A and B are shown apart, each in its own frame.
Chain A
Amino acid sequence: MSLLEILVKRLLLGLGTLLFVSFLVFFGTEILPGDVAYAILGQGATPELVEQVRERLGLNEPFHMRYWIWLTNFLIGNFGTSLANGADIGVEVSRRAMNTLILASCTAIVAVPLAIILGLMASIKPGGWIDRLISSVSLALISLPDFLVAVILVSIFAVKLRWLPAIASIRPSYDFFDWIRILILPVMGLTFTILAHMVRMTRSAVLNVLSSPAIEMAILKGVPRRRLLVRHALPNALGPIINVVALNLAYLISGVVVIETLFNFPGLGRYMVEGVTNRDVPIVQTCAMIFCTFYVLLNILADILSIIVNPRVRYKK
């Protein structure tokens, strides 16, 4: 099979996955609870009112029609209005998605290089004291709940030292430096939540490559250490490392939700939590779809990059 064929196949598979995910989101939010109309009306639900609302929302249509309408609306960016206050979700989402994107990319910029460097350092001499230190600290970090590091950071930098704000709410008047000030703590908290996984996975990916017969052969052949790492080990480790990075950026999703709630950061994650708390179905649907799309896309990206970087994957079934 040619490279192009494989890529197209992977993309189609990804598209199928997205469709499946959208179906699950729709099924989970609209079919599971019984009736959205009751949810909207709450206490004052009389049969006539319920019927009116059902008519207005198109709930009397058959299931597949509703799914189709919902999906097409979503694709053209018509997210509907909030059940709680009737506000247009699209406007709110675009603003908040931007904030979340800024938060997530700042975290990625800090966490990815740091994790790769630490992972490489640990794998240079497995079992050495650097490796033992990095491995045990990252094992401990994996076990921490997402919010613990952030709570500790807040108690140190916001409460004790009073250097940084504990709450990351955003005002339109904020300039670049205000943004940095409010972002430091959330970014630090998020970095800790994904760093450990990335370090451990990078380490095991590199070690895996270093123990392969090809590398052993190169050592026996007398290839200098530096050339060994750069020419022989790195190209083989690149695929797994890229995979690790993409997968961990996908882990960011749960971290983002927790950290945004903790810091009161006006992003997509907190929006979704508010939506779930108020049982605001359209908000939950929209946010879930955005997060899931992001997750699926990152997974596809990871696969495609590792196919391009590592030719052998192409011939695997």
Chain B
Amino acid sequence: MTLHSHTSSTWFGRLRVNMEDLTPGAAICLCFLIIVFFIGIFAPWIAPYDEAQILTNDSFMPPSAEMWLGSDYLGRDVLSRLIYGIRITLFLALTISFISFLSGVGLGFLAAAFGGRIDNWMSRLNDALLSFPSLMLALIVINSLGSSFMVLIFTIAFIDMTRVYRVARALAVNIMVMDYVEAAVVRGENKWWIICHEILPNTVIPLAAEFGIRFTYTILFISALSFLGLGVQPPQSDLGVMVKENMQSLLYGEYTTLYPAIMIAMIAISMNIFVDWLLLQSGTKLPEEV
């Protein structure tokens, strides 16, 4: 890989070298993701209409000059709703991924750095939690607490955390046995220093890849929950809600329900392809391909 032939020492230098090696496929995916994030951030300025405004009495109007993607089942502008839906979906997925990463990576590194009994018990508890199907866990919590942004965010972040913990711990355990870590221990560095200066720099790329995978997984998971009517609740709507409420459109010969579904798929596919490229490029592998 060209990554190794260049000798850039700073992370920014490495990043720039990496960018030069983008394959066309990965470049397209990255551009698409950037555009989608841009749309999500600036949704109120980009959307042609208000997402909740009922513009016509006809449901499932075909696309026209005024409404590029037609109208939905209540006569609202599908394009505007799609744009706002992207915003909500991305907001939720990003928040959840960040929370799960901060907690999962933190705990995973701690377990690996301390090792011994602490590691043993934490990992055992985590394995027990992993024996619970994630959808079941989410459904049980939603059944008990109802569905709100808070409940969704923390439940899914918790579920993701157990997965992130496993990956982060496995990565860190591999670093802990290296000579340079032993040297640091002998020098008298404390655990915190080792985590920040030895483990973290050596696991950044696989962790970034794992972040992408978690992000994709989270988007699919929230969409599935919303599709079941148990995720984001109206009047708020994400892409999954849009798929659910416009299922009827198929019977009218319109494809309204497919636009948000395809948008979810495209975001997820782009992220996966980009992650694949990242892993291939850096020659790293994730501990487990699940």
Contacts and interface: CB of A to CB of B under 8 A. Distances in A.
A214 interface: no
B258 interface: yes
A209 interface: no
Given A159-B251, A204-B289, A273-B228, A291 B133 contact: yes
Interface in A124-166: 139-140, 142-148, 151-152, 154-155, 158-159, 166
Contact of B142 (A24, A154, A262, A276): A276
A151 B247 contact: yes
Nearest to B252: A159
A254 B135 contact: yes
A81 interface: no
Interface in B226-284: 227-230, 240, 243, 247, 250-251, 253, 255, 257-258, 261-262, 264-265, 268-269, 271-273, 276
Counting chain B residues whose Cβ lies within 8 A of the other chain, the interface size class is 35 or more
A247 B253 contact: no
Contacts of A273: 139, 228-230
Contacts of A146: 220, 224
B169 to A, nearest CB: 16
Binding site secondary structure of chain B? helix
Contact of B250 (A25, A145, A159, A281): A159
A195 interface: no
B131 A21 contact: yes
B183 interface: no
Contacts of B240: 145
B264 A145 contact: yes
Contacts of A33: 143-145
Given A144-B265, A148-B265, A29 B216 contact: no
B128 interface: yes
B132 A24 contact: yes
Interface string B137-160: 101111111100000000000000
A273 B143 CA distance: 9
A154 B250 contact: yes
Given A143-B268, A257-B228, A273-B228, A21 B140 contact: no
A24 B269 CA distance: 34
A261 B269 CA distance: 25
Given A151-B261, A159-B250, A292-B132, A139 B144 contact: no
Interface string A192-228: 0000000011001000000000000000000000000
B162 interface: no
Contact of B140 (A29, A148, A257): A29
B290 interface: yes
A56 B262 CA distance: 50
A291 B134 CA distance: 11
A99 interface: no
Contact of B223 (A17, A28, A145): A145
B136 interface: yes
Given A147-B243, A201-B289, A296-B131, A28 B250 contact: no
Contacts of A247: 290
Binding site secondary structure of chain A? helix
Contacts of A21: 131-132
A151 B250 contact: yes
Contacts of A275: 143
A135 B134 CA distance: 26
A24 B272 CA distance: 33
Contacts of B135: 253-254, 257
A148 B224 CA distance: 10
A284 B139 contact: yes
A148 B272 contact: no
Contacts of B131: 17, 20-21, 295-296, 299
25 contacts: A17-B128, A20-B128, A20-B131, A21-B132, A24-B132, A25-B140, A28-B141, A32-B144, A33-B145, A140-B269, A143-B220, A145-B268, A147-B223, A147-B243, A148-B265, A152-B258, A159-B251, A247-B290, A250-B133, A258-B228, A273-B139, A273-B230, A279-B143, A288-B140, A292-B132
Interface of B: 128, 131-137, 139-146, 216, 220, 223-224, 227-230, 240, 243, 247, 250-251, 253, 255, 257-258, 261-262, 264-265, 268-269, 271-273, 276, 289-290
Interface of A: 17, 20-21, 24-25, 28-29, 32-33, 139-140, 142-148, 151-152, 154-155, 158-159, 166, 200-201, 204, 247, 250, 253-254, 257-258, 261-262, 272-273, 275-277, 279, 281, 284, 288, 291-292, 295-296, 299
Q: What 10 A-B pairs have minimum CB-CB distances, sorted nearest first? A: A143-B268, A32-B144, A28-B140, A254-B135, A33-B144, A143-B269, A276-B143, A148-B261, A284-B143, A295-B133
